[in-house]
Structure 1
Amino acid sequence: MRATLGVVTGALALSALAVPAAQADEVHGDTKISNVVVNGGKPVVVGATGSKTFSVSFTVTDNSGVDWAQAILYHGANIDDADSGAVANSSDGRSSCAKVNATTATCKSSYTVEAGYELINKVAGSWKVWAIAAGNDADYVQKDNAKTFQVQRLSKLTVNAAPEPVKKGKTITVTGKLSRANWETGKYAGYASQPVKLQFRKKNASTYTTVKTIKTNSTGNLSTTVKASVDGYFRYSFAGTSTTPAANAAGDFVDVK
């Protein structure tokens, strides 16, 4: 049940991962894996540089008690064809399992992914949790996809409304830029052709309302016009994609005379 998975991401050769063979789901006996939670249920978001450490937890049951468990994170159709991956930060790559009762344990481990190493642009999006667990009686279960989660390139969004102050009825030009982490250059680059909402909040109001939706240009820039009516804040709001998280620009106040 042991094999070696060599994960190669473009020109980046990751360290070989020693993992059990992973052709398909296998169940031998009554061992079960459930309640898999990655990063507290939130996407794993990483900036243009640096790394992110997060946890994965799951429940294992076996009528003889739980012996050991392991989870490996990967991007690809299956773990054998993965183009990136991460093993637990433990010395042996296994999860730490805490006994709940005679038949149940909660297993948990931490993982670290780094921009430019495990992460290059093409592996943003859906990742999977490959998991295996064994009981004290040698029963075991192996799951090729115990959980799917998102690994995303951090996004940034700016806004500027001008002129300010402005006379009522005059034209306000609202500009901004949507950018996201480029894990290969270590910088932020414009996110092209994305729908972004222009929103407005009246002075002393607590919520924004959408004025219109426009798209970013080829360099991620935004520009549109509106008529000045009352004092308030303009912002851009991006809903996010599978590879990039949502973002809201900080509101820019306009004083209408």
Structure 2
Amino acid sequence: MRTRTAAAAVLGTSVLLPLLAPAAAHADTAKGDTVFTSVAFNKKTFNVGVSTAQTVNVAATAKDGSGMQGILGAKLISSDDRIIHAYAADCTRPTPTTMKCVFRFTLDPDRGDYYDLKNSSAGTWRFTAEAVAKDRDFYDLETSARIQVKRLARLATTQAGPEPVAKGAKLTVTGALTRADWNTNAYAAHAGRSVALQFKRSGTSTYTTVKTVTSDAGGKLRTTVTASASGTWRWKSTSTSTTSGATAYGDTVTVR
């Protein structure tokens, strides 16, 4: 159990939370009947680019038969142990035995300080906090509340040509895949990724994958297909544990 600070959660107010020293990750621990009854995030996956910060809201509710003293030390910890502290919390007491706090965090790729996101930080993050009861029971939340923080991927607008094209002729389709580089605050080529080339026939609403193409060292995509019908071509990449998926704007080609 970590050393407790003075109560940081105050009924119905917004307060700055104290900065706690980094602690080694370990399993949730508890004493007595204190529990977190719910921990909810405003979303579970955050795809972060190179310049725009995103806000993570965490609503945590804790309960103890003696009543709650506070929910302390809220922070987010990345897969490489980068720590971001909650900068404020709004706390209420829905019942005599419960406390609910909404904590606010900022994910910022362009701060220029310790809290600046780095590429090594992409992946699974965990929310940690300690619920302390009036009878000194506690629940130390360490590993069970998780979110995904990913580098934002982008696909350039699909280009297909020639336009128009004769039926049965070859059609060349190109594109480019990049992703956010949090170390340099720029979008960089995402090489070696399998990207789906999809086609939607005119008059329909469903895309079908025609083939997959691997992005080259510069993130470029290029392939040829046989033109058989008018419709729209686009590129689509799937997400990984550290990088978001992406869908390119399509290019409509008329087949004559």
Question: SS state of the match for residue 137, structure 1?
Answer: coil
Q: Secondary structure at the match of 1:17?
A: coil
Q: What SS class does the counterpart of residue 183 from structure 2 fall into?
A: coil
Supply the RMSD in Å over aligned alpha carbons.
2.1
What is the number of residues matched between the two proteins? Answer: 236
- 1:27 alignment partner in structure 2: 30
Report the TM-score when normalising by structure 2. 0.85
**Separation of aligned partners in 1, 2:176 and 2:166:** 26
Instruction: Give the Cα separation in 1 of the matches to 2:135 and 2:51.
Output: 45
In 2, Cα distance between equivalents of 1:23 and 1:157: 36
Q: Which amino acid aligns with 1:230?
A: A
Secondary structure at 1:145 match in 2: coil
User: How far off is 1:55 after superposition?
Assistant: 0.5
Q: Distance in 2 between matches of 1:220 and 1:20?
A: 37
Distance 1:195 1:35, change over 3 A: farther
What is the aligned partner in structure 2 of residue 123 from structure 1? Answer: 121
Name the structure where strand makes up a greater proportion of residues.
1
- Which of 37, 62, 66 is residue 64 of structure 1 equivalent to? 66
Which residue of structure 2 lines up, in the alignment, with residue 244 of structure 1? 243
Identity value in percent: 39
Assess if the C-alpha contact under 8 Å between 1:179 and 1:220 holds in 2.
yes
| In 2: Cα distance, 1:34 partner to 1:225 partner | 55
Structure 2 counterparts to residues 39-188 of structure 1, below 5 A:
40-70=42-72, 71-76=74-79, 82=81, 84-90=82-88, 95-116=89-110, 117-158=115-156, 159-188=158-187
SS in 1 for 2:117: coil
AA of the residue aligned to 2:119: N
CA positional deviation for 1:49: 1.8
After the TM superposition, which parts of structure 1 deviate over 4 Å for at least 4 consecutive aligned residues? 19-23
Q: C-alpha separation between the residues in 2 aligned to 1:127 and 1:242?
A: 11
Paired residue secondary structure (1:177):
strand
CA separation of 1:19/1:3 partners in 2, compared to 1, >3 Å: closer, same or farther? Answer: farther
For residue 217 of structure 1, what is the aligned residue in structure 2?
216
Provide TM-score, normalisation by structure 1: 0.85
Report the alpha carbon displacement of residue 152 of structure 1 after superposing the two structures with TM: 0.9
Instruction: Provide the secondary structure at the position in 1 that maps to 2:105.
Output: strand
Determine the C-alpha separation between the residues in 2 that align with 1:206 and 1:251.
Answer: 13
- CA–CA distance in structure 1, aligned partners of residues 216 and 234 of structure 2: 17
Partner-residue secondary structure (3-state), 1:146: coil
How far apart in 2 are the matches of 1:23 and 1:45?
A: 24
CA distance in 2 between counterparts of 1:61 and 1:240 reads 37
Which runs of 5 or more residues in structure 2 are unaligned? 6-17
Per mean C-alpha deviation after superposition, the further-off stretch among 98-107 and 173-182 is 98-107
Please state whether the residue corresponding to 2:120 is helix, strand or coil.
helix
Instruction: Find the counterpart in structure 2 of residue 205 from structure 1.
Output: 204
Residues 131, 146 of structure 1: 8 Å contact kept: no
Matched residue type, 1:60: A
Name the CA distance, whole Å, in 2 between partners of 1:42 and 1:26. Answer: 24
Asked if structure 1 preserves the Cα contact closer than 8 Å seen for 2:34 and 2:64, the reply is yes
| Alpha-carbon distance between aligned partners in 2 of 1:205 and 1:103, rounded to the nearest angstrom | 56
Question: Secondary structure of the equivalent of 1:122?
Answer: helix
CA distance in 1, matches of 2:92, 2:24: 25
CA displacement 1:151-192 (0-9 Å, x = unmatched)? 111110122111111111111111101110111111101111
Secondary structure of the residue aligned to 2:143 is: strand
Which amino acid in 1 is paired with 2:101? C
Q: Distance in 2 between matches of 1:237 and 1:204?
A: 20
**Cα displacement string for residues 32-73 of structure 1 (whole angstroms, at most 9, x for unaligned residues):** 1142223x2331221112321120112211112222113210
Larger displacement relative to structure 2 (98-107 or 59-68):
98-107
Q: Residues 2 and 18 of structure 1 are in contact (CA less than 8 Å); yes or no, is this contact kept in structure 2?
A: no
What amino acid is the match of 1:31?
A: T
Q: How far has the Cα of 1:21 moved from its partner? A: 5.7
